[in-house]
Structure 1
Amino acid sequence: MKTIVFLDRATLSTDLPDLPFAHRWVEYPSTTPGQVVERCRDAQIVVTNKVPLTGDVLAQLPQLELIGVPAAGVNHLDMETCRQRGIEVVACPGYSTISVPEHAFALMLALRRNLVPYWRDVYDGGWSGSPTFYAELHPIKDLHGSTLGIVGAGHGGKRLAELARPFGMRVIFAERRHATVVREGYAAFDEVLREADVISLHCPLTDETRHLFGLAEFDRMKRSASLVNAARGGIVDERALMEALDRKLIANAALDVLEQEPPAADHPLLTSARTDLIVTPHVAWRTQVAMQRLVTQLTQGIEQHYAALRAKLDEAVLRALSGSLRAASQ
């Protein structure tokens, strides 16, 4: 009997199917870091969307065999300790290949067309008081003929490129920031900063990508450029973004993720209704289709791990039995 502990069940609204081996689920809506060891002490499988599992915590979970992550990123896990301990990690890369790029594309359209400022101004009387039949209150940019720079050429980045090209956008993928060689199909990072009208982030959060976009990067972008981040909050230095918007180093930005989630009520990006910033509450991934794909990937990954272990065990038993039979016949 496997004990499966889900540390933050409230993050996943979809039902979980039964697994093809004896097990019991223990679910908690949410879990603080200080509660992890007590709740997982007897678990063979732990499922965590965002609750951190550090090396110190893992050292206190001797029965742990597998960690399930109902998300694409695993930056909340101590992966080195997992490798050393032989703890399998089942994540779900690619489950949101449709939903996140569509959300990023919607944000990009909203920024280039200044939809949010227009919506606010219309309800404040900006159209009613116009001397003409229209009210050109903010600049409007076409996607057609513009350049989209994509940082991250995985499932999400490639899907966004597929959405952008039929709109007539030129798409360039950014090489790693400090790369000495530019791979085929990529452009140098600084070249993307200089040429892109929109930059959309689709890379994981790692030591290399943390604060990948700071004041120096914003200063090298076009003054008319837009930034979209539907990847991970820590990729953008939020203080630098605030300064870049205040100094008009870039035109505007849209974020579906922040460095701390949920953010504090007095978070600087949320305390004023800026016309050059859109923030959505990390919901790009939460479509019905994406949720079903997520659950399917997670459960299939867990099933496949234990099926492989059973197959190895069966093979070992057969080898041992065969050896015993040969020895008995001699």
Structure 2
Amino acid sequence: MTHKIVFLDRESLDANVRAPNFPHEYKEYESTWTPDEIVERLKDADIAIINKVPMRADTLKQLPNLKLIAVAATGTDVVDKAQAKAQGITVSNIRGYAFNTVPEHVIALLFALRRSIVPYAQSVKRGDWNKSSQFCYFDYPIYDIAGSTLGIVGYGALGKSIAKRAEALGMKVLPYDVFPQEGLVDFETVLTQSDAITIHVPLTPDTKNMFGEEQFRKMKKHALLINTARGGLVDEAALLEALKSGEIGGAGFDVVAQEPPKDGNILCEADLPNLIVTPHVAWASKEAMQILADQLIDNVENFVAGKPSNVVE
């Protein structure tokens, strides 16, 4: 049997994607946006490879031949999994590939914000240093990383990897998770005692806007919020107000609620010295993307061999 494989958003993965080890036809598209495009391009396919292409119920119902959706990411909120299950479509994802790239991005954001690196660099470009009466100036606050406390919301593999790096830098770690583990603290403790909080939970109805006005009021005035998980975990309007009013000290975001923000986004457009927004690239080191690409094809090959891997229920 020859399997027909279609990769709908190939430009989202900057890595070598090897050919699967079974008879197949392969077609890829740089990007796919509309439901009509999805249906047209997958109408004869039994294997779809996607990253962020939405596979909603109405779309899936028009794809009776589809047997596998191989997601080139860990998060699978773009797939209506209930409908996929109803149609007998297997959904697989990628696991354990971002063990260096995401933690390093988190630590980079922490350093940049704690030491106000971006606003100082921008001020030098504006000529502020040229006008200084002294050899340096203190327009933006600088705090040490060592001796500070990092709250980790979501203490899975990524959370634990970040904890090791934080402890090596002399930080105290406060881990929180909804799943019981030894050594965890409660969410209230994370909010009230952390100098910085980093988020690593999936986006679900229960976690949507888990950080909002109420949570920001409980955080320290100088506390930072780092989000490299999903934009919907944070109420963006409440965050912006908290940053402007000084309710919290700063934020480093690699995600926003709608990606890409084609209709604009209040965080992306805000001109604040205590806010850094990067374009969902925390996962995207060259090394991590190749690990991801190799695991992606492993998932496809394992499914065809009758031994599906990394199946998402």
TM-score range, shorter chain: over 0.9
Which residue of structure 1 aligns with residue 55 of structure 2?
A: 53
* Per-residue CA distance 1:180-217 (angstroms, 9 max, x = gap): xx653211101100000000111111111111111111
Which residue of structure 1 aligns with residue 92 of structure 2?
A: 90
Q: Kindly, what percent of the aligned residue pairs are identical?
A: 45
Which residue of structure 2 aligns with residue 217 of structure 1?
A: 215
Q: CA deviation at 1:249?
A: 0.7
Summarize the Cα distance change of 1:183–1:159 in structure 2 as closer, same or farther, 3 Å threshold: closer
Task: Work out the CA distance in 1 between the residues paired with 2:134 and 2:246.
Answer: 29
| Alignment of 1:24 onto 2:22 | no
Q: CA deviation at 1:237?
A: 1.1
Identify the match of residue 112 of structure 1 among 111, 114, 118. Answer: 114
Listed as ranges, the matches of 1:58-77 within 5 Å are 58-77=60-79
Task: Work out the CA distance in 2 between the residues paired with 1:115 and 1:309.
Answer: 49
**Any stretches of 5+ residues in structure 1 without a counterpart?**
311-330
**Any stretches of 5+ residues in structure 2 without a counterpart?**
309-313
**Number of equivalences:** 306
* Per-residue CA distance 1:84-112 (angstroms, 9 max, x = gap): 33322121022112101101110011010
TM norm structure 2: 0.93
Structure 1 residues 114-123 or 192-201, which shifts more?
114-123
Q: CA deviation at 1:126?
A: 2.6
Task: Work out the CA distance in 1 between the residues paired with 2:307 and 2:140.
Answer: 61
| Contact 1:147–1:170, Cα closer than 8 Å, also in 2 | yes
Which residue of structure 1 aligns with residue 311 of structure 2?
A: none
Q: CA deviation at 1:167?
A: 0.7
Summarize the Cα distance change of 1:122–1:102 in structure 2 as closer, same or farther, 3 Å threshold: same
| Contact 2:224–2:248, Cα closer than 8 Å, also in 1 | yes
| Contact 1:73–1:93, Cα closer than 8 Å, also in 2 | no
Listed as ranges, the matches of 1:179-328 within 5 Å are 183-264=181-262, 266-308=264-306
Structure 1 residues 182-191 or 116-125, which shifts more?
182-191
Q: CA deviation at 1:81?
A: 2.1
Task: Work out the CA distance in 2 between the residues paired with 1:226 and 1:147.
Answer: 11
TM norm structure 1: 0.89
By percentage of residues, which structure has more helix? 1
Which residue of structure 1 aligns with residue 15 of structure 2?
A: 14
Task: Work out the CA distance in 2 between the residues paired with 1:183 and 1:14.
Answer: 36
Structure 1 residues 264-273 or 14-23, which shifts more?
264-273
Return the letter of the residue paired with 1:19. Answer: P
| Contact 2:14–2:286, Cα closer than 8 Å, also in 1 | no
Q: The residue matched to 1:270 in structure 2 has which SS?
A: helix
The root-mean-square deviation of aligned C-alpha atoms, in Å, is 1.7
Max Rg structure: 1
| Contact 1:33–1:51, Cα closer than 8 Å, also in 2 | no
Task: Work out the CA distance in 1 between the residues paired with 2:70 and 2:194.
Answer: 37
